[in-house]
Chains A and B, each alone.
Chain A
Amino acid sequence: MIRNALIALTTGALLVSASSLPAMAAGKTIAVSWKTFQEERWKTDAAAIKAVVEAAGDKYIDSDAQGSAQKQAADIEGLIAQKPDVIMVVAFDSDAILPSIAAISNAGIKSIAYDVQFEDPNALYITFDNVGVGRIMAKEILKAKPAGNYAFIKGDKGDPNATFLFQGQMEVLKEAMDSGKVKNVCETFTDGWKPDNAQKNMEQCLTSTGNKVDAVLSENDGMASGVVAALTAQGLAGTVPVSGQDGDLAAINRVAMGTQTVSVWKNSVELGKTAAAAAIALANGTAADKIPGVAMFDGGKKKVKMNSILLAPTPITIANIGDAIAAGHITKDQACAGVKGDVMGCK
Chain B
Amino acid sequence: MAKHHDANSEPARSREGLLKQFFNATEIDTRILGMIVALLLVWCIFDVWSGYIRPNEGLFGGSFLTPRNLWTLLVQTSSIAVMSTGMVLLIVLRQIDLSVGSMLSLVAVATGVLQVYQLGPALGVGHPAIWILGVLACLTLGTAIGAFNGFLTAYAKIPAFIVTLGGLIAYSGVAFLLARGETVAPMDQNFGIFGGGIASSWLGPFWSWVLAAVGCAAIVRGIVNGRRQRQRFGFPLRPVWAEVFLAAIGSLATLGTTWVMNSYPWPPGVIEKYAKSNSIAIPPGIENRDGKAICMAATQVVHCNEGLIYYTGFSLPALIAIAVCMIMTFIATRTAFGRYIYATGGNPEAAELAGINTRALTVKAFALMGFLVGVSSIISSARLNAATNALGLTNELYVIAATVIGGTSLAGGVGTIYGAMVGALMMQSIISGMSLLNLPAAYQNMVVGGVLVLAVYLDQLYRRRVN
Residues on A lying within 8 angstroms of B by beta carbon are 2-5, 40, 157, 186-197, 199-201, 203-205, 207-211, 221-222, 225-226, 228-230, 232-236, 239, 248-251, 253-254, 333, 337-338
Name the interface residues of B343-399: CB closer than 8 Å to any CB of A.
380, 383-386, 388, 390-391, 393-394
* CB <8 Å contact, A210 and B267: no
* CB <8 Å contact, B182 and A248: yes
* CB <8 Å contact, B186 and A222: no
Choose among A189, A230, A233 the residue that contacts B198 (Cβ–Cβ < 8 A).
A233
CB distance from B48 to the nearest CB of A (A): 14
* CB <8 Å contact, B182 and A225: no
Hey, which chain A residues are within 8 Å of B56, CB to CB?
208, 210
Asked whether A250 and B438 contact (CB < 8 A) given A195-B386, A200-B432, A232-B197, the answer is: no
Asked whether A192 and B289 contact (CB < 8 A) given A3-B181, A204-B432, A208-B50, the answer is: no
Interface of B is mostly: loop
* CB <8 Å contact, A250 and B182: yes
CB distance from A225 to the nearest CB of B (A): 4
Hey, which chain B residues are within 8 Å of A189, CB to CB?
440-442
Whether, in the assembled complex, B54 has its beta carbon less than 8 Å from a beta carbon of chain A, the answer is: yes
* CB <8 Å contact, B394 and A192: yes
Choose among B50, B267, B441 the residue that contacts A235 (Cβ–Cβ < 8 A).
B267
CB distance from B218 to the nearest CB of A (A): 30
* CB <8 Å contact, A194 and B442: no
Whether, in the assembled complex, B413 has its beta carbon less than 8 Å from a beta carbon of chain A, the answer is: no
Whether, in the assembled complex, B272 has its beta carbon less than 8 Å from a beta carbon of chain A, the answer is: yes
Chain A to chain B: the 8 pairs with minimum beta-carbon distance, closest first = A235-B269, A235-B270, A250-B185, A204-B435, A233-B197, A234-B267, A225-B386, A250-B183
Choose among B289, B386, B432 the residue that contacts A229 (Cβ–Cβ < 8 A).
B386
Hey, which chain A residues are within 8 Å of B121, CB to CB?
333
Task: Sample 14 A-B pairs with CB under 8 A, ordered by A number.
Answer: A194-B393, A195-B390, A196-B383, A208-B63, A210-B296, A210-B297, A211-B296, A228-B385, A233-B196, A235-B268, A248-B182, A250-B183, A253-B186, A337-B125
Other A-B contacts than A222-B183, A235-B268, A235-B270, 14 sampled, CB-CB below 8 A, are: A40-B180, A189-B440, A195-B391, A196-B390, A196-B391, A200-B76, A208-B436, A225-B185, A233-B267, A234-B267, A235-B272, A248-B183, A250-B183, A253-B186
How far apart sit A225 and B183, CA to CA, in the bound complex (Å)? 9
Hey, which chain B residues are within 8 Å of A193, CB to CB?
390
Residue of B nearest to A248 (CB): B183
Hey, which chain A residues are within 8 Å of B183, CB to CB?
2, 195, 221-222, 225, 248-251
Hey, which chain A residues are within 8 Å of B269, CB to CB?
211, 234-236, 239
* CB <8 Å contact, A196 and B380: yes
Hey, which chain A residues are within 8 Å of B385, CB to CB?
225, 228-229, 232
* CB <8 Å contact, A191 and B182: no
* CB <8 Å contact, B271 and A235: yes
How far apart sit A186 and B266, CA to CA, in the bound complex (Å)? 23
Hey, which chain B residues are within 8 Å of A196, CB to CB?
380, 383-384, 390-391
CB distance from B399 to the nearest CB of A (A): 14
Hey, which chain A residues are within 8 Å of B69, CB to CB?
207
Hey, which chain A residues are within 8 Å of B125, CB to CB?
337-338
Name the interface residues of B435-456: CB closer than 8 Å to any CB of A.
435-438, 440-442, 445
Asked whether A186 and B272 contact (CB < 8 A) given A4-B182, A225-B385, the answer is: no
User: What is the size category of the interface that chain B forms with chain A?
Assistant: 35 or more
CB distance from A151 to the nearest CB of B (A): 10
Interface centre among A191, A233, A248, A253 (most CB of B within 10 A): A233
* CB <8 Å contact, B441 and A188: yes
Whether, in the assembled complex, B72 has its beta carbon less than 8 Å from a beta carbon of chain A, the answer is: yes
CB distance from A53 to the nearest CB of B (A): 27
Hey, which chain A residues are within 8 Å of B271, CB to CB?
235
How far apart sit A5 and B431, CA to CA, in the bound complex (Å)? 36
Residues on B lying within 8 angstroms of A by beta carbon are 50, 54, 56, 63, 66, 68-69, 72, 76, 120-121, 125, 180-186, 195-198, 266-273, 289, 296-297, 380, 383-386, 388, 390-391, 393-394, 431-432, 435-438, 440-442, 445
Choose among A3, A40, A201, A253 the residue that contacts B185 (Cβ–Cβ < 8 A).
A253
How far apart sit A253 and B186, CA to CA, in the bound complex (Å)? 8
CB distance from A2 to the nearest CB of B (A): 5
Hey, which chain A residues are within 8 Å of B440, CB to CB?
157, 188-189
* CB <8 Å contact, B438 and A188: yes
CB distance from B389 to the nearest CB of A (A): 9
CB distance from B87 to the nearest CB of A (A): 19
CB distance from A263 to the nearest CB of B (A): 11
CB distance from B451 to the nearest CB of A (A): 17
Hey, which chain A residues are within 8 Å of B432, CB to CB?
200, 203-204
Hey, which chain A residues are within 8 Å of B76, CB to CB?
200, 203
Residue of B nearest to A191 (CB): B441
Hey, which chain B residues are within 8 Å of A190, CB to CB?
441
How far apart sit A250 and B394, CA to CA, in the bound complex (Å)? 23
Interface centre among B120, B386, B445 (most CB of A within 10 A): B386
How far apart sit A105 and B437, CA to CA, in the bound complex (Å)? 56
Residue of B nearest to A2 (CB): B181
Choose among A4, A201, A229, A239 the residue that contacts B384 (Cβ–Cβ < 8 A).
A229
